[in-house]
Chain A
């Protein structure tokens, strides 16, 4: 059987490979090529060299959205993971109605980003209206609005991952720690957290990349207002590409830069958290 699979695997992999090449590789390579071009529609590109990349450097809005996104990612990664882990701990203690709570916390994740964005826009504006403010009054209103939205959406999902991690901890480890006289906080610090390190790796990876790539929610909630100050990177790229005549190539170049940034950070993070994982 091993031999058969070895012999025929190219055939079995072929359909997926074709789909991957058409849906991912080809656009990716085309995208990199286009970042060196001047064009109106993607079919009439003309090669111009690195001019597009030079324009990025002088684009204050891009720089702003770069650190704005970085800050947003830092805040959401910390908050989502801390809250998700705390909820997961609570819901593995065997309290009444655990399954109901798990379901309820997970549900927001099933709603699409655009819908969530509009729903939260109505909700938050409804609250802020009491103070005669709106969500787009300043970039920080939008920032915290987005953070709240993201927490609501993602905590449940990360919670599920943490729950499965916690449930996989062998009972005897905890028991042994208890017999040795460890306090609950010590068990958490020295047993539970090291044992769920693989889950932490996955969750930080997911929240980190989600934070950087966030688009739908940003578009629906603030659309970058006011003055494009609450624009995250992905939305900035989109607006450069579609919003400015003659800047399509610059938008494309930003997308390439964006890919490199996210790629590097994700790899670094992966290496960092993986190194902390312990063998069972």
Chain B
């Protein structure tokens, strides 16, 4: 009898316990959302750029302080933006402000994009080159223009120019692939004299970092092919400049701080620290890398950026690679108030003093907005780009936004890696590049 009572009590307690925790859980989340969603709406920004994650949170805090509107900022870890966006968009509290990386990214998400043609942000954009359109609708607005090339250490390179064994004697002569090859190979041969580990930083092909080569470096052969054919996108690439792609890739992996067989475990962070500590002279990356390099061994005035020369005809006039793969999109499935709150927030970011100061000075962005004429960033890598534009060099556009799919990039990256470590041959890269383009394009547009 007593046993029975105890048993009944335990069972009842277990059940009640379940109920209590169940209520508690849901009660908490209710409380959270009701305090947030007032009549004013709120903003949830899913940020793509981990380099500026903290600054966005700070900026959101300032906006909330000023206006009382809640702004949540989440940043996806490097290489996981698409998967995070996919799961976040399925939630009730979906991001109101998200990013796509260009026309191909837009194709996936265009059913979710709000038409921005009447928005203040769109009116502030200096040219339609910086927006993504679908018919008359403006679905994405770029908020940062970036530049990449070969970041180099001026102090080390000057040591090289002054050395008795160097062939190239001035930065002005370093304006084509042959010169770059000579410089790189001579530095590599005399690396102990210069006190470096290698000419180039390790070409990290860890899957979190291989975008430097499978995407950014691959842009150059695509750029020259598009230029020759007079097109801006294609369903079938011919690969006419793949031999050039091969020679720059060979140069990178054979004159680096580590053996080619080791690059599969190297990351972009490794490369960045090698450069920042003065262990390598050249580092292929872009303006966004400045935050990671600054305040280390390399002084700001020693930072320069060279165009990536691949040995194409007329490349002496080639500039740096400039473009954007960061487009703001507003989620049209969000509530009316949230959309309005998001548009207001975007306007505040590009028009208020606080927002402009943060973007230009803290994040180091060059923006396509007309409101930023008084806010030019102090980032030395951005200044390097201006020098090239002023010298009349032709900037290389970002054509990698037309690459058919993420899968194409991944396959190309794998083929590059296998070629580098000797487990595959260059034909594998050609196949991934040319045949892969056609099949992936067909798969994405069926």
From A42, A226, A248, B414 is in contact (CB under 8 Å) with A226
State the CA gap A136–B209 with chains docked (Å): 14
Q: Please tell me if A223 contacts chain B, counting CB pairs below 8 Å.
A: yes
Q: Please tell me if B264 contacts chain A, counting CB pairs below 8 Å.
A: yes
Q: Please tell me if A43 contacts chain B, counting CB pairs below 8 Å.
A: yes
Q: Is the CB of B418 within 8 A of A226?
A: yes
Q: Please tell me if A4 contacts chain B, counting CB pairs below 8 Å.
A: yes
Please report the total number of A residues contacting B with Cβ < 8 Å.
35
Which residue of chain A has its CB nearest to the CB of B261?
Answer: A132
From A137, A242, A244, B423 is in contact (CB under 8 Å) with A137
Q: Is the CB of B262 within 8 A of A129?
A: yes
Q: Please tell me if B111 contacts chain A, counting CB pairs below 8 Å.
A: yes
Q: Assess A15 versus B423: contact at CB under 8 Å? Given A42-B90, A242-B82.
A: no
Interface string of B374-408 (1 = CB under 8 A from A): 00000000000000000000000000000001110
Q: Is the CB of B414 within 8 A of A12?
A: no
User: What A residues does B86 contact at CB under 8 A?
Assistant: 40-41, 242, 248
Q: Is the CB of B108 within 8 A of A225?
A: no
Q: Please tell me if A111 contacts chain B, counting CB pairs below 8 Å.
A: no
Within 8 A of A (CB), among B12-29: 14-15, 18-19, 22
Q: Is the CB of A246 within 8 A of B264?
A: no
User: What B residues does A224 contact at CB under 8 A?
Assistant: 207
From A1, A11, A19, A133, B261 is in contact (CB under 8 Å) with A133
Q: Is the CB of A134 within 8 A of B262?
A: yes
Q: Please tell me if A149 contacts chain B, counting CB pairs below 8 Å.
A: no
User: What A residues does B312 contact at CB under 8 A?
Assistant: none
State the CA gap A190–B19 with chains docked (Å): 52
Q: Please tell me if A227 contacts chain B, counting CB pairs below 8 Å.
A: yes
Q: Assess A15 versus B18: contact at CB under 8 Å? Given A40-B108, A138-B423, A245-B405.
A: yes
User: What A residues does B52 contact at CB under 8 A?
Assistant: none
Q: Is the CB of B410 within 8 A of A137?
A: no
Q: Please tell me if A210 contacts chain B, counting CB pairs below 8 Å.
A: no
User: What A residues does B407 contact at CB under 8 A?
Assistant: 243-244
Q: Assess A225 versus B262: contact at CB under 8 Å? Given A1-B3, A15-B19.
A: no
Q: Please tell me if B348 contacts chain A, counting CB pairs below 8 Å.
A: no
Within 8 A of B (CB), among A94-138: 121, 125, 129, 132-138
State the CA gap A16–B15 with chains docked (Å): 9
Distance between B304 CB and nearest chain A CB, rounded to angstroms: 32
Distance between B401 CB and nearest chain A CB, rounded to angstroms: 14
Interface string of A10-33 (1 = CB under 8 A from B): 011011100100000000000000
Q: Please tell me if B231 contacts chain A, counting CB pairs below 8 Å.
A: no
Interface string of A41-61 (1 = CB under 8 A from B): 111100000000000000000
Q: Is the CB of A125 within 8 A of B265?
A: yes
Distance between A73 CB and nearest chain B CB, rounded to angstroms: 24
Q: Assess A137 versus B15: contact at CB under 8 Å? Given A225-B207, A243-B83.
A: no
State the CA gap A16–B443 with chains docked (Å): 44
Interface string of B340-363 (1 = CB under 8 A from A): 000000000000000000000000
State the CA gap A136–B205 with chains docked (Å): 10
Q: Please tell me if A228 contacts chain B, counting CB pairs below 8 Å.
A: yes
B3, B14, B15: residue with the most chain A Cβ atoms closer than 10 Å: B15
Q: Assess A245 versus B410: contact at CB under 8 Å? Given A133-B261, A134-B262, A138-B423.
A: no
Q: Please tell me if B438 contacts chain A, counting CB pairs below 8 Å.
A: no
Q: Is the CB of B4 within 8 A of A1?
A: yes
B8, B86, B265: residue with the most chain A Cβ atoms closer than 10 Å: B265
From B11, B107, B423, A12 is in contact (CB under 8 Å) with B11
Q: Is the CB of B108 within 8 A of A245?
A: yes
User: What A residues does B15 contact at CB under 8 A?
Assistant: 11-12, 14-15
State the CA gap A19–B444 with chains docked (Å): 39
Distance between B72 CB and nearest chain A CB, rounded to angstroms: 19
State the CA gap A44–B19 with chains docked (Å): 32
Distance between A245 CB and nearest chain B CB, rounded to angstroms: 4
Q: Is the CB of B90 within 8 A of A244?
A: no
User: What A residues does B111 contact at CB under 8 A?
Assistant: 40, 44
From B3, B82, B423, A245 is in contact (CB under 8 Å) with B82
User: What B residues does A227 contact at CB under 8 A?
Assistant: 411, 414-415, 417-418, 424
Q: Assess A226 versus B82: contact at CB under 8 Å? Given A4-B8, A136-B264.
A: no
Q: Is the CB of A225 within 8 A of B264?
A: yes
Q: Please tell me if B251 contacts chain A, counting CB pairs below 8 Å.
A: no
User: What B residues does A41 contact at CB under 8 A?
Assistant: 86-87, 89-90
Q: Assess A134 versus B90: contact at CB under 8 Å? Given A15-B18, A227-B415, A246-B443.
A: no
State the CA gap A137–B206 with chains docked (Å): 11
Which residue of chain A has its CB nearest to the CB of B258?
Answer: A132
State the CA gap A227–B4 with chains docked (Å): 62
From B107, B259, B411, A132 is in contact (CB under 8 Å) with B259
7 A-B pairs closest in CB distance: A242-B83, A227-B414, A15-B18, A41-B90, A136-B264, A134-B265, A245-B108
For the A-B complex with A12-B15, A226-B418, A227-B418 known, give 16 more contacts whose Cβ atoms are closer than 8 Å: A1-B3, A11-B15, A40-B109, A41-B90, A44-B111, A121-B265, A129-B262, A134-B261, A134-B264, A136-B265, A136-B417, A225-B206, A225-B264, A225-B414, A227-B424, A245-B82
User: Could you show 8 A-B contacts with beta carbons less than 8 Å apart?
Assistant: A15-B15, A41-B90, A137-B264, A223-B207, A227-B415, A228-B410, A243-B406, A244-B405
